[in-house]
Amino acid sequence: MKLNFKNIFVAIASVGMLSACSNQLDIVPEGAPGSGNFWKNENDAVTAVNALYERFDDENFYGRGFWWFINASDDMVTGRVKAEGDNIKNFNRDFMGKDYTEGQWKMRYIVIKRANDIIKNVPGIKMDEKLKNRILGEAYFFSGLMYFELGSTYGDARAGVPIINRDSVVADKPIPRSANVNVVYDYVEAELLQAAAHLPYFSEYTPDEYGRPHKTAAYAWLSKMFLYKKDYAKAEQFADSVILSGQHKLLDNFADVFTIANNYSKEYVWSVASFAKGNGNGFGSILPGVMLENKGWGLYNGWGYYMPTKELYDEYEAKDIRREATILKPGDAFTYFGEEKVYESSNSLSGYQFRKYMEPFSYAGGIHASTNPDHPTTDLALPLIRYAEVILIKAEAKLMQGKNADAEINMIRERAKLDPIENATMEDLKHERRCELAGEWANRHADLVRWGDAKAAYAQPLHHYDGSVAWPARNFDPAVNHVWPVPISEVENSAGVVKQNEGW
């Protein structure tokens, strides 16, 4: 399965060619039958699995759109005035039906459709069995991951999300939502267990295969899913499946995690494979460019979104080395396009900027940034889940079972150059999770919601570096705003079969 991610455009082109000749990877209703002129040989299977990654390049998939949901937290503000983003942060339903988040649901079902087609058709192809297993593992992994992202975003005890019967031949009937989110999580468990059974360990991959899912990535998402499901014993069990595998460890220096050289280090578990060059647009997550100063101090088209708050900066202990590695504040020195600069911003609504994703912009000539600044991908792979989070998942799961989690929490604190603590509590865990994972896909907003802390946190204003209010207090209704609204187009196109979340 020779897909070097720096040549992934070959795979995307194949999606187009395949759609033209067979419609199999076209966006058709889930469960539609194939035309019979594909799924004949190993090359077809490889083409199909490569198409699973195509949505990574949509700016709203793992770049900007979904991040408006993460931006709802108390760790960041919109960065510059943007009405749709502001409405999302304020839980104002006026954002519904607009561009940024409307496609989240559909894009993930597109990936699920492609995964289902692989799982249905690849077993019947005569091909190398090791490669077949790996392809099937990738399909199960993406199916499980997409359902987890859908379920945790839109589902609750009142309704889950539709689960597609991959054996169905019904092509035109909308599918109602499952009874509740735990039904979705049960399906995620089954899919990710299949993924883990089929996939190799990351250490078995060659560099041209880096960026594909692997066994401990499936275990890590299982662990996180069970944390959300509040099945803490299983969350701990699958965290241990990662930890005891011997595949991972914390890097010695926290800041090194967010460097191009360490895209696939021992701390890596699962990231968005990204690169700057290719057809001039690059490929993958645009988040580093989205978080960069608006207009990039005249050298690059940064978008100026998702800026840290004073509340986040003040959360760090004085000796915590993660603070300066995570956040740029006025007066801080940094390297930008090969030149030494001192940070200041004329447009950030908080006066700060996230530093975690700045390394690609430090090189002279912008050699690690897309040549199309309107699609600001970089050579930095955006972490979706990393080993430090797995350790913190285990710590939280242990605490919720009444166990001692000092060993896990102190592993994280030791790297941050902080003193160890004894008899750690959930408050200690929340503190470490916030400081370690700030500005990451780990999703502080989802944490606050599942902990029951969102209403109190959002009732407080958020502040600028100078102490002024950067964002006023917000009203969060835990009975409504604990989930996001189903995209209006999905409700309307289903003729009401897919129901909207209550209150939205």
Domain identity same for 302 and 226? no
Q: What integer pLDDT is reported at residue 36 of this predicted model? A: 66
H or E element that contains 60 = none
Q: Specify the pairing of strand 469-471 against strand 327-328.
A: unpaired
- Other beta carbons within 10 Å of 205: 17
Residues spanned by the domain of 349: 287-368
Question: What is residue 218's three-state secondary structure?
Answer: helix
Residues 403 and 339 in one domain: no
Query: Are residues 484 and 434 located together in one domain of the fold?
Result: yes
Residues 93 and 239 in one domain: yes
Give 328's strand partners. Answer: 353
Domain boundary among 305, 339, 368: 368
For the chain, give the percent of residues with pLDDT over 90: 88
Question: Within a 10 A sphere around the Cβ of 4, how many other Cβ atoms?
Answer: 14
In a domain, residue 107? The reply is yes
Q: How far apart are CA 329 and CA 110, in angstroms?
A: 40
Quote the pLDDT of residue 265: 98
pLDDT number for residue 106: 96
Looking at residue 164, the DSSP 8-state letter turns out to be: -
Domain's final residue, options 335, 368, 401: 368
Q: Is residue 374 part of a domain?
A: no
User: Is 373 domain-assigned?
Assistant: no
Judge if 47 and 180 occupy the same domain.
yes
Q: What is the mean pLDDT of the chain?
A: 92
Neighbour count for residue 158 (Cβ, 10 Å): 13
pLDDT at 236 over 60: yes
Within-domain flag for 470? yes
Domain stops at, among 317, 341, 368:
368
Are 145 and 23 in a shared domain? yes
**H-state helical runs in 90-170:** 99-102, 104-121, 129-154
Q: What is the DSSP string of 333-362?
A: EEEETTEEEE---SS-SSS-EE-TT-GGGS
Domain count, the chain: 2
* pLDDT tens figures, 446-475: 999 999 999 999 999 999 999 999 999 999
At 93 the pLDDT is 95
Q: Are residues 67 and 197 in the same domain?
A: yes
Q: Are residues 232 and 364 in the same domain?
A: no
* The pLDDT of residue 147 is above 60: yes
Q: DSSP letter for 221, please.
A: H
pLDDT tens digits, residue range 94-113?
A: 999 999 999 999 999 999 99
**Residue 210 shares a structural domain with residue 132:** yes
Q: Do residues 147 and 244 share a domain?
A: yes
- What's the length of the chain? 504
* Same domain, yes or no: 390 and 445: yes
Nearest to 295 by CA among 339, 341, 259, 346: 346
For residues 12-33, give the mean pLDDT: 33
Q: Is residue 375 part of a domain?
A: no
Closest by Cα among 408, 467, 404 to 433: 408
CB 267 within 8 Å of CB 250? yes
176 and 74 inside one domain: yes
Question: Is 498 part of any domain?
Answer: no
502 occurs within a structural domain: no
In 3-state terms the chain splits into helix, strand, coil percentages (rounded to 5) of 45, 5, 45
In this prediction, residue 37 carries a pLDDT of: 84
pTM of the shown model: 0.93
CA angle in degrees (0–180, nearest 5) for 354-356-361: 90
Q: Is residue 70 part of a domain?
A: yes
The domain spanning residue 19 has which CATH number? 1.25.40.390
pLDDT in tens, 248-270: 999 999 999 999 999 999 999 99
